[in-house]
Chains A and B, each alone.
Chain A
């Protein structure tokens, strides 16, 4: 796999190779999250998109500087509404716990919810309007905390884990395919909220220019040590050029290229650390007594229950853990891109593609998950060039202006869907356990 990426580096460019590599790493993290849920415990989570988006939201809320004007314009209203929501939830919990189930109780809870929503809307509405009016072209939202973006990887995990806790409490009792549909729809709700609550996320206006944990290319190009480094690195090539001016120009070009490669390498390093830490932890977990218990629950829920294992609790735990990992990946993704675009979260890319990775790689095997992330993402990106090559090959006999050829070349980007689908079907049919199947060691 690494060889393939290196080949891209040699033939296309190191820049492309590294960006594929970085996204492969992020995909691998997402796949590991999904793999924990599906491979260890047999829980279907089609809500990966929602958790990814929440991780991205965390990146925004951590790294953007707070917008003071917006806070003074409507911050108090928002905080008060938040307080109301929390007290509403607590009140409902109190009622549900301390009163017996009856019609009256249901009515009271319903009244609290409806009244609460009406009151909250009345209070938050002017605040939201005021916030969104603060310089809408640039801010128009509350902003974040102004901390280094790397903290968001932790906060993203907490956000996603929190959402998973709520979903898990609600939906984990459902049958497998119901759970799949429910999580899919809930993740759509999450995206709808992120897209349209402009005061929090700027919505479809996107948040751009997030702070980076890595240096900026522009700054790198002016630092001496970096220029020296590039010069040393390419000394043989540069020494061939005798003319001083030409040599300087070539060096400049190399520095510009080198800076973006360097920045990408920084990201790769950070992501690799995350992947390795997660790999060690998940591997330890898989072979611990806890992992064995999870497999027992997955393979026979009733038997595990009879042995005194708390199936509901463990399911909830693993659902939260897996989603938290996906949340980390979401934050990493936004960190790398430097921008948060709620409109780009689509179930095909962020839910179903990740599932293809899990199934292709091998569910229940962490190395399989990572391999799946790499292979599938690589194919997803390189499908268009491969498709173009195939189209040219098969239609070689046709005239360049032949309508069939033109049409096929236009639709080359969609060959990736075809490739993914066929790949998934073939794997499901002939290697249902994935490329690297689950290995269960009995010691």
Chain B
């Protein structure tokens, strides 16, 4: 019984939250990695692009709520996401046309493109803050919990409750669907294959008649979808605040590089690596040991490896270690 309790405890406080957080990071990391693999620069506007997409989702959610459209138990935001994506993709294509295209056709070094993305970051940030403001916003509605801790306790008779929020389930399901569609697209369709070819060797791809304009456009469209959904899911699960989104860029970069930048599957797993290590290393295991160990060996302190203040630092340290010992990431990067 104690053993079961311990497992439920870990499930409740480590596994489910880490899986959710990891999914959100994974979407962002695939976004970074796609841009890096095909457009060949590190996009420092990642976090702000995500908040830009989320902003549209929120605006549409508020509009739908005011009109009285809702999805019942599901959050209205799910209905708003497609509209958000349309605006987001439009924005990205405009940015690409007016900003990035020039440098791409001039074959500028990646560093210059990265600098330009900082300019885009500033502008996007300004637009988001001017339109929706810098404050914290919650746009979640519908049923909050799938399983409540109390109900779970009653049902199973255990001491530990397992609470699963509906946003967590939605995040994980949506991520799985989205990512598997993406991999199917990249590996099975002609366009996807030509994208991979372009990423692998640009000149060779051009020789074999692949249209670079089309590739770039599709990349931005996919990136827009990923950014909007990733951002909206994060906002649903936690809350929307432009500054947090900007900061989320850092673990997202960490996830992309840990997985091998340029490799979407690596980025997907990288998200989970980062999320799990952040939570595993900063969780206080005291209660877990109380359940598992006999009473005489109960620990005195919190049994916490690192204080939760260092949550971000954990992922960055992992990144630094990976960069040192395996600069190409866990999976070989630079090929889609």
Residues of A with Cβ closer than 8 Å to B? 44, 170-171, 174, 176-178, 180-182, 184-186, 188-189, 192-193, 195-196, 348, 352, 355-356, 359, 408, 410-411, 414-418, 420-422, 424-425, 428-429, 432
The interface residues of chain A lying within 8 Å CB-to-CB of B110 are 176-177
A392 → chain B closest CB, angstroms: 15
Of all A-B residue pairs in the complex, the 8 with the closest CB atoms, nearest first, are: A421-B122, A421-B123, A418-B126, A417-B126, A424-B119, A185-B316, A414-B129, A425-B119
Q: Please, which residue of chain B has its CB at the minimum distance from the CB of A410?
A: B133
Stretch touching chain A among B162-170, B185-193, B305-313? B305-313
The interface residues of chain B lying within 8 Å CB-to-CB of A182 are 319-320, 323
Q: Can you spell out 22 A-B residue pairs with CB atoms less than 8 angstroms apart?
A: A176-B109, A176-B111, A181-B42, A181-B253, A181-B257, A182-B319, A184-B253, A185-B316, A185-B319, A185-B320, A188-B312, A188-B313, A189-B312, A189-B313, A196-B309, A352-B121, A414-B125, A414-B134, A417-B125, A421-B119, A421-B122, A422-B123
B94 → chain A closest CB, angstroms: 13
Whole-angstrom distance between the alpha carbons of A321 and B163 in the complex?
53
A425 pairs with B130, CB closer than 8 A: no
The interface residues of chain A lying within 8 Å CB-to-CB of B130 are 408, 411, 414-415, 418
Whole-angstrom distance between the alpha carbons of A319 and B307 in the complex?
32
Whole-angstrom distance between the alpha carbons of A417 and B327 in the complex?
34
B244 contacts the other chain (Cβ, under 8 Å)? no
A177 pairs with B111, CB closer than 8 A: yes
B312 pairs with A424, CB closer than 8 A: no
Q: Please, which residue of chain B has its CB at the minimum distance from the CB of A197?
A: B309
The interface residues of chain A lying within 8 Å CB-to-CB of B42 are 177, 180-181
A178 pairs with B126, CB closer than 8 A: no
The interface residues of chain B lying within 8 Å CB-to-CB of A411 are 129-130, 133
The interface residues of chain B lying within 8 Å CB-to-CB of A185 are 250, 253-254, 316, 319-320
Whole-angstrom distance between the alpha carbons of A178 and B114 in the complex?
11
Give a binary string over B32-63; 1 marks a CB under 8 Å from any A CB, 0 the rest. 00000000011010000000000000000000
B335 contacts the other chain (Cβ, under 8 Å)? no
Q: Please, which residue of chain B has its CB at the minimum distance from the CB of A353?
A: B122
Give a binary string over B74-113; 1 marks a CB under 8 Å from any A CB, 0 the rest. 0000000000000000000000000100100000011110
B114 → chain A closest CB, angstroms: 5
The interface residues of chain A lying within 8 Å CB-to-CB of B309 are 192, 195-196
B246 pairs with A428, CB closer than 8 A: no
Q: Return the contact of A428 from the options B115, B124, B324 (Cβ within 8 A).
A: B115
B118 contacts the other chain (Cβ, under 8 Å)? yes
Q: Return the contact of B118 from the options A355, A408, A416, A422 (Cβ within 8 A).
A: A355
B313 pairs with A424, CB closer than 8 A: no
Whole-angstrom distance between the alpha carbons of A428 and B111 in the complex?
12
A418 pairs with B127, CB closer than 8 A: yes
A410 → chain B closest CB, angstroms: 8
Whole-angstrom distance between the alpha carbons of A118 and B256 in the complex?
30
B122 pairs with A189, CB closer than 8 A: no
Whole-angstrom distance between the alpha carbons of A87 and B122 in the complex?
45
The interface residues of chain A lying within 8 Å CB-to-CB of B114 are 44, 177, 180
A432 pairs with B112, CB closer than 8 A: yes
Q: Please, which residue of chain B has its CB at the minimum distance from the CB of A416?
A: B126
The interface residues of chain B lying within 8 Å CB-to-CB of A432 are 112
A178 pairs with B120, CB closer than 8 A: no
The interface residues of chain B lying within 8 Å CB-to-CB of A176 are 109-111
Chain B interfacial residues counted at CB < 8 A: 43
Q: Please, which residue of chain A has its CB at the minimum distance from the CB of B106?
A: A432
Q: Return the contact of A192 from the options B121, B312, B320, B323 (Cβ within 8 A).
A: B312
Residues of B with Cβ closer than 8 Å to A? 41-42, 44, 99, 102, 109-112, 114-116, 118-127, 129-130, 133-134, 246, 250, 253-254, 257, 307, 309-310, 312-313, 316-317, 319-320, 323-324, 327
Given contacts A414-B130, A425-B99, A428-B112, contact A193 B320 (CB under 8 A): no
Contact count A vs B, C-beta below 8 Å: 119
Whole-angstrom distance between the alpha carbons of A432 and B111 in the complex?
12
Whole-angstrom distance between the alpha carbons of A192 and B313 in the complex?
7
A390 → chain B closest CB, angstroms: 12
The interface residues of chain A lying within 8 Å CB-to-CB of B257 are 178, 181
Whole-angstrom distance between the alpha carbons of A191 and B89 in the complex?
35
Whole-angstrom distance between the alpha carbons of A184 and B323 in the complex?
14
The interface residues of chain A lying within 8 Å CB-to-CB of B319 are 181-182, 185
Known: A181-B319, A408-B130, A424-B119. 11 other contacts (CB 8 A): A44-B114, A171-B320, A174-B327, A176-B111, A177-B42, A178-B323, A185-B316, A192-B310, A352-B118, A421-B126, A425-B99
Whole-angstrom distance between the alpha carbons of A415 and B131 in the complex?
11
The interface residues of chain B lying within 8 Å CB-to-CB of A193 are 313
A417 pairs with B123, CB closer than 8 A: yes
B320 pairs with A196, CB closer than 8 A: no
A417 pairs with B250, CB closer than 8 A: no
B122 pairs with A352, CB closer than 8 A: yes
Given contacts A176-B111, A180-B114, contact A428 B119 (CB under 8 A): yes
Whole-angstrom distance between the alpha carbons of A428 and B116 in the complex?
7
Q: Please, which residue of chain B has its CB at the minimum distance from the CB of A118?
A: B305
The interface residues of chain A lying within 8 Å CB-to-CB of B109 are 176
Given contacts A417-B125, A418-B126, contact A170 B250 (CB under 8 A): no
Whole-angstrom distance between the alpha carbons of A420 and B44 in the complex?
15
Whole-angstrom distance between the alpha carbons of A355 and B116 in the complex?
11
B58 → chain A closest CB, angstroms: 15
Q: Please, which residue of chain B has its CB at the minimum distance from the CB of A417?
A: B126
B122 pairs with A424, CB closer than 8 A: yes
Q: Please, which residue of chain B has its CB at the minimum distance from the CB of A427?
A: B119
Q: Please, which residue of chain B has its CB at the minimum distance from the CB of A348?
A: B246
Q: Please, which residue of chain A has its CB at the minimum distance from the CB of B261?
A: A178
Whole-angstrom distance between the alpha carbons of A237 and B122 in the complex?
47
A435 → chain B closest CB, angstroms: 16
A42 → chain B closest CB, angstroms: 8
Whole-angstrom distance between the alpha carbons of A180 and B26 in the complex?
21
The interface residues of chain B lying within 8 Å CB-to-CB of A422 are 119, 122-123
Q: Return the contact of A418 from the options B116, B123, B250, B253 (Cβ within 8 A).
A: B123
Whole-angstrom distance between the alpha carbons of A341 and B84 in the complex?
38
The interface residues of chain A lying within 8 Å CB-to-CB of B246 are 348
The interface residues of chain B lying within 8 Å CB-to-CB of A425 are 99, 116, 119-120, 123
Whole-angstrom distance between the alpha carbons of A195 and B309 in the complex?
9
The interface residues of chain B lying within 8 Å CB-to-CB of A356 are 118, 122
The interface residues of chain B lying within 8 Å CB-to-CB of A170 are 320, 324
B118 pairs with A189, CB closer than 8 A: no
Q: Please, which residue of chain A has its CB at the minimum distance from the CB of B133?
A: A411
The interface residues of chain A lying within 8 Å CB-to-CB of B324 are 170
The interface residues of chain A lying within 8 Å CB-to-CB of B250 are 184-185, 188
The interface residues of chain A lying within 8 Å CB-to-CB of B115 are 355, 359, 424, 428
B77 → chain A closest CB, angstroms: 23
Q: Return the contact of A417 from the options B44, B112, B129 (Cβ within 8 A).
A: B129
